[in-house]
């Protein structure tokens, strides 16, 4: 089945607004990404229910510039929100998503948005007058705590849609059982494509530092999903 061009174009426009540097305000960018997330799930359900659906998982392109450990958490959050599996080549600073083509595009745009948000929030929250050593500690612990909080919230959002009929219907027009079946089918496709490369992307909690508390709080301020009415 060919994706509905109006739906995909709408998603791409919303993600373009959410992308850092688009000129949108913070609230406009967050709202755009939230709408795109819910709209993508709604689109995926419609595709999965179509008897002529012949789409499947593919390998996305490798993207460079993601060489910090907290980038993995941002990739994990994007994968949760758009039902793709992220692969990491940390030594090369590269990230790749495995899933359906439209979902991969959403993951890539969302990853850029989340990384930019963590960087922005770090600059906003950075205390003045820190020594060089304390500043480095604050930077690393803030960004890690913020990114881990984003990943945890993305996971919680999807779990809610998988278990709460009211919220699933509000976001997608379908009950939680349909959401579960759709997401599980998409992830199964990605896992089959990855084969032996399937790995659980987890990062061990690091020792708390100067920026941990502020990073967690900042992670709560980024809106990840909103109903599409």
**pLDDT tens per residue across span 43-59:** 787 776 665 556 788 99
Flag whether 226 is in a domain: no
Say whether pLDDT at 215 is over 80.
no
**Of 102, 42, 112, 45, which is closest to residue 77 (Cα–Cα)?**
112
Flag whether 95 is in a domain: yes
Flag whether 166 is in a domain: yes
pTM: predicted TM-score of the whole model, two decimal places: 0.77
> Where does the pLDDT of residue 99 fall: very low under 50, low under 70, confident under 90, or very high at 90 and above?
very high
**pLDDT tens per residue across span 136-168:** 988 988 899 888 888 887 788 788 888 999 988
Percentage helix, strand, coil for the chain under 3-state DSSP, each rounded to 5:
65, 5, 25
Residues spanned by the domain of 168: 5-221
Flag whether 229 is in a domain: no
Flag whether 34 is in a domain: yes
Quote the number of domains for the chain.
1
Say whether pLDDT at 198 is over 50.
no
Flag whether 228 is in a domain: no
Flag whether 227 is in a domain: no
Average of per-residue pLDDT across 5-22:
68
Average of per-residue pLDDT across 182-204:
73
pLDDT given for residue 228 in this prediction: 29
Q: Are 44 and 55 in contact (CB under 8 A)?
A: no
Question: How many angstroms separate the CA atoms of 98 and 79, rounded?
Answer: 9
Q: Are 84 and 98 in contact (CB under 8 A)?
A: yes
């Amino acid at each position: 089945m060919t994706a509905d061009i109006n739906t995909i174009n709408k998603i791409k426009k919303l993600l373009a607004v959410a992308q850092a540097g688009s000129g949108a305000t913070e609230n406009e960018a967050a709202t755009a990404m939230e709408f795109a997330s819910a709209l993508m799930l709604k689109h995926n359900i419609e595709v999965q229910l179509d008897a002529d659906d012949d789409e499947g998982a593919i390998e996305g392109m490798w993207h460079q510039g993601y060489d910090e450990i907290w980038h993995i958490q941002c990739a994990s959050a994007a994968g949760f929100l758009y039902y793709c599996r992220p692969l990491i080549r940390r030594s090369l600073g590269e990230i790749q998503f495995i899933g359906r083509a439209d979902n991969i595009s959403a993951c890539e745009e969302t990853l850029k948005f989340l990384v930019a948000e963590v960087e922005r929030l770090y600059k906003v929250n950075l205390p003045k007058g820190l020594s060089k050593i304390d500043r480095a500690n604050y930077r690393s612990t803030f960004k890690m705590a913020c990114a881990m909080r984003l990943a945890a919230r993305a996971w919680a959002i999807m779990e809610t849609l998988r278990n709460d009929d009211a919220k699933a219907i509000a976001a997608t027009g379908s009950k939680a059982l349909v959401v579960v079946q759709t997401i599980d089918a998409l992830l199964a496709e990605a896992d089959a494509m990855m084969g032996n490369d399937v790995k659980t992307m987890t990062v061990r909690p690091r020792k708390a530092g100067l920026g941990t508390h502020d990073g967690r709080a900042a992670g709560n301020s980024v809106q990840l999903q909103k109903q599409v009415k």
